[in-house]
Amino acid sequence: MPLPQELWDAIMHYLGNDRPALKACSLTCRAWRPTTRMLFWRTVSAVNAGVLSRLQSLLRGTPDIVPLVRLLHVTIQADRLAWLATFTQLDTLVMRETDDDPFLGSRDPSVHYLPDVPWLPNLTSLTLRHEALTVSSFVQLLTGCPRLSTLVVGHYATYLNDLGDHAVGLSRTPLSLPHLRRLESNGQSLIHAIPIILRAAGTALESLKLDIQLVPVHVLLGVFDFSHNTRLTDMEVATLFCATYRPGWGDQLAAALAGIGAGHTSLKHVALRIPSIHPAPGHTLPNPWDDPGESLGRELSRVLDGLPNLTVAFHQWNSFSSLTANSVRCTLERAFQQRFPGLYAHRERLRFTWDLWPGGKDEVWDVALLDERNDAQ
């Protein structure tokens, strides 16, 4: 007795992205072909110019493939992004620039804006590793993604885009992201786009992760406005590797906390991510962590006093050892004990966590930052 087609379809779905197996199934039985074809073209990858050119030729000759594509990995020039609108049913896009992109590193005002913005009405997840995009063209791209729920930006340029006269036009760019729930960015040169995205997301935004390693404090103070995002539940902010050697190294983290207000009652967890750094004997630099500055302690006290359901954790990633991590914890405790003894009232909600290098991220240690034995009160 033959199996119903629904069962064969369910079996083929278990093959996932096993393309050789899907291709073999499509050649085995005519009745299997529609399902295997749909699964085969569900994920498409064009990671270099040659593959992209062949894909474009294939789609011109076989246009019925286009609506089957749901996830696209593509390496593409910024001035050719309009081609992405071909994929009308695309829900996930992972994109990066080509090495010969004419937008890359250009300061020509003519490349501040995209010539055509791709309309991607069904896109829900965008992962962007595209250094050729300016702040203006990045915001332009987002205007074509009205259903976006997840945005991950990795932009590794070490400069901040100089908006100049484009700042006025950028602030007037109509952008609405009413479904954006998760934003993750270590896009240093796109930092000026963050407040625009935060406003566009409004109360939809629930999760925020920002890497601020190369961004000066005076810039951050104009960026971290979370007043529109009152339904945030968790936030993670990472700070600079070498900044821990200078007095006031916590000012960047304090700038992030300054954006949290009494209206953020949904906020449950804030992670302040710090690097693992331990100078060798005879190191000429001062000891790291000694002086986080007044701003960090003041903002910690304010948010913990005002939001009784909030937990704040300093997280040291890739720590060399638990001994090293505890040394950092003790240094931080001494700094806060002297200047902000009132933080001991929030001992259970002020944490210190760490994972070990290498490959220890699956196991995280969690202790109170402030040892109750040192409570002066």
- CB contact burial 50-78 (16+ within 10 A = b; e otherwise): eebeebeeebeeeeebeeebbbbebbbbb
**Residue at 94 is within a domain:** yes
Q: Do 35 and 47 sit in the same domain of this protein?
A: no
Q: Do 359 and 291 sit in the same domain of this protein?
A: yes
Which is more confidently placed, 172 or 291? 291
Read off the amino acid at residue 353: T
Residue 166 — pLDDT band, cuts 50, 70, 90? very low
Q: What is the pLDDT of residue 285?
A: 53
**Residue at 2 is within a domain:** yes
What is the four-CA torsion angle of 205, 211, 217, 220, rounded to 10 degrees? -20
Q: Do 314 and 269 sit in the same domain of this protein?
A: yes
- Which residues constitute the domain of residue 273? 206-377
Residue 2 — pLDDT band, cuts 50, 70, 90? confident
**Does the pLDDT at position 304 exceed 70?**
yes
**Does the pLDDT at position 233 exceed 90?**
yes
Q: Do 265 and 363 sit in the same domain of this protein?
A: yes
The domain total for the chain is 3
Q: What is the pLDDT of residue 164?
A: 39
Q: Do 233 and 277 sit in the same domain of this protein?
A: yes
Q: Do 8 and 59 sit in the same domain of this protein?
A: no
Which is more confidently placed, 230 or 169? 230
Q: Do 210 and 258 sit in the same domain of this protein?
A: yes
Q: What is the pLDDT of residue 207?
A: 97
Do β-strands 365-368 and 350-356 pair in parallel, antiparallel, or remain unpaired?
A: antiparallel
Q: Do 333 and 216 sit in the same domain of this protein?
A: yes
pTM: 0.87
**Does the pLDDT at position 289 exceed 90?**
no
Q: Do 345 and 290 sit in the same domain of this protein?
A: yes
Q: Do 146 and 238 sit in the same domain of this protein?
A: no
Q: Do 247 and 370 sit in the same domain of this protein?
A: yes
**Residue at 267 is within a domain:** yes
**Residue at 177 is within a domain:** no
Q: Do 222 and 143 sit in the same domain of this protein?
A: no
